[in-house]
């Protein structure tokens, strides 16, 4: 509620110069707010451009050290690992997810051995990078199996924790998986491993470039609407978050980010839990292409990122994270 009236009250006075705008700004960005996604590929000494994501690359495990060094030097607290699994290693069961020598496991071991606790490691818990059908779960008679999938996710989580993962991030949207994973990792002496639940993950049109990056786009059969959320729903997101908190989630994710700022705000206000936002590949590529075509200027990047903080996000998964020092004003 505004107390006072014009002309004695002039809100423009606090906007008159750069120094006073800095003093009264309500939201700020720092490298501490960011998680840097890293895409992994097989091979040696590889850096492969992702055509649908300008300025983003896939790296072989032997080359991610340069990315980690850069992230640490910029003050980024955590990286998120996503594999581009070779087609020859994919099957209907996603068996490669349980291979201790898969890309995520090899990268996790390397990072933990070299960097210890200088930077956090977030691992995606889901089967879609490993299945021949591109879905996050097991399929029988064209139906995504919930409970059977959870058992595989438990084993995947245990393996990732053993390899050095600090934050498990189940993005599969199976009902009940957070509680089952929490119980399993606690029973196996991984009580300090955190769970970042993709609690409000929507069936969105903004995921295309990511699926291209991890190699699941061409293999995906059908859509994911039977397990990811309907973008027309908001109350449902609060129910999902409430259940995941009760089951043991330490943090929750909203994905995508910008079209769902209202969801971020609602979750933060209701639950007072750390809320992360994922500025997904489609959001990133739209902004980058608009800048490239000069439809908008580069300041749009900063504006889009501040919006997440204004909505209440504690941290942001963003492909801009490695350039954040040049973006922050």
Is residue 282 within 8 Å of 318, Cβ to Cβ?
no
Task: Please state, in angstroms and rounded to a whole number, the distance separating the CA atoms of residues 318 and 120.
Answer: 15
pLDDT value at residue 329: 67
Catalytic residue among 90, 106, 180, 201: 201
Higher-confidence residue: 251 or 8? 251
Task: Please state, in angstroms and rounded to a whole number, the distance separating the CA atoms of residues 305 and 258.
Answer: 9
pLDDT value at residue 327: 94
**What mean pLDDT do residues 288-311 have?**
97
**Structural domain boundaries enclosing 239:** 28-327
pLDDT value at residue 62: 97
Beta-sheet pairing, 167-170 with 194-201: parallel
Does pLDDT of 249 surpass 90?
A: yes
pLDDT value at residue 218: 73
The pLDDT tens digits for 179-220 are: 999 999 999 999 999 999 999 999 999 999 999 999 887 778
Establish if 5 belongs to a structural domain. Answer: no
Establish if 43 belongs to a structural domain. Answer: yes
Catalytic residue among 106, 180, 255, 268: 255
Establish if 22 belongs to a structural domain. Answer: no
The H or E element containing residue 161 is helix 146-163
pLDDT value at residue 8: 87
Q: Assign residue 141 a region (left: φ > 0; alpha: ψ between -120 and 50; beta: otherwise).
A: left
Alpha helix positions (H), 188-260: 208-214, 235-247
Q: Is 255 a catalytic residue?
A: yes
Does pLDDT of 294 surpass 90?
A: yes
Lowest mean pLDDT among 67-81, 203-217, 268-282: 203-217
pLDDT value at residue 219: 77
pLDDT value at residue 3: 79
Establish if 10 belongs to a structural domain. Answer: no
DSSP 238: H
Backbone angles phi, psi at 175, to 5 degrees: -65, 130
Task: Please state, in angstroms and rounded to a whole number, the distance separating the CA atoms of residues 118 and 73.
Answer: 10
Is residue 270 within 8 Å of 298, Cβ to Cβ?
no
pLDDT value at residue 221: 80
Establish if 301 belongs to a structural domain. Answer: yes
Q: What is the percent of the chain where pLDDT is above 90?
A: 93
Confidence band (pLDDT; 50, 70, 90) for 56? very high
CATH of the domain at 188: 3.20.20.70
Establish if 56 belongs to a structural domain. Answer: yes
Task: Please state, in angstroms and rounded to a whole number, the distance separating the CA atoms of residues 125 and 119.
Answer: 19
Task: Please state, in angstroms and rounded to a whole number, the distance separating the CA atoms of residues 285 and 163.
Answer: 32
Establish if 16 belongs to a structural domain. Answer: no
Q: Is 201 a catalytic residue?
A: yes
Strand segments, DSSP code E, in the chain are 34-41, 47-49, 57-60, 78-83, 120-125, 138-140, 143-145, 167-170, 194-201, 251-255, 275-278, 315-317
DSSP-based three-state secondary structure for 60: strand
DSSP-based three-state secondary structure for 146: helix
Name residue, tokens 């906007």. Answer: 15
Does pLDDT of 281 surpass 80?
A: yes
Establish if 214 belongs to a structural domain. Answer: yes
**What mean pLDDT do residues 106-126 have?**
97
Task: Please state, in angstroms and rounded to a whole number, the distance separating the CA atoms of residues 104 and 221.
Answer: 24
Domain count, the chain: 1
**What mean pLDDT do residues 4-21 have?**
91
Nearest to 307 by CA among 18, 22, 33: 33
């Amino acid at each position: 509620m505004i107390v006072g009236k014009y002309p004695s009250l002039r809100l423009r006075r606090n906007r008159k110069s750069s120094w006073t705008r800095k003093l009264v700004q309500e939201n700020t960005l720092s490298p501490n707010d960011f998680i840097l996604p890293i895409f992994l590929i097989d091979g040696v000494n590889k850096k492969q451009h992702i055509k649908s994501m300008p300025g983003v690359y896939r790296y072989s495990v032997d080359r991610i050290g340069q990315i980690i060094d850069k992230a640490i030097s910029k003050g980024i607290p955590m990286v998120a690992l996503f594999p581009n699994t070779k087609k020859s290693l994919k099957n209907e069961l996603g068996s490669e997810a349980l291979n201790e020598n898969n890309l995520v496991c090899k990268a996790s071991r390397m990072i933990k051995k070299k960097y210890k606790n200088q930077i956090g490691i977030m691992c995606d818990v889901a089967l879609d990078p490993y299945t021949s059908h591109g879905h996050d779960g097991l399929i029988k008679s064209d139906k995504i199996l919930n409970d059977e999938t959870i058992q595989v996710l438990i084993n995947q989580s245990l393996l990732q924790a053993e390899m050095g993962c600090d934050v498990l991030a189940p993005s599969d949207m199976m009902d009940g998986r957070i509680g089952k994973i929490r119980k399993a990792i606690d029973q196996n002496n991984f009580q300090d491993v955190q769970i970042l639940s993709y609690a409000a993950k929507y069936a969105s049109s903004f995921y295309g470039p990511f699926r291209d990056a991890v190699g699941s786009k061409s293999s995906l059969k059908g859509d994911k609407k039977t397990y990811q959320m309907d973008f027309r729903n908001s109350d449902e997101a609060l129910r999902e978050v409430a259940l995941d908190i009760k089951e043991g989630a330490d943090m929750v994710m909203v994905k995508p980010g910008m079209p769902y700022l209202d969801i971020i705000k609602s979750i933060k206000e209701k639950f007072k839990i750390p809320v992360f936002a994922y500025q997904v590949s489609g959001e990133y590529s739209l902004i980058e292409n608009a800048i490239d075509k000069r439809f908008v200027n580069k300041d749009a990047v900063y504006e889009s990122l501040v919006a997440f903080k204004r909505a209440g996000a504690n941290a942001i998964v963003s492909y801009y994270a490695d350039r954040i020092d040049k973006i922050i004003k």
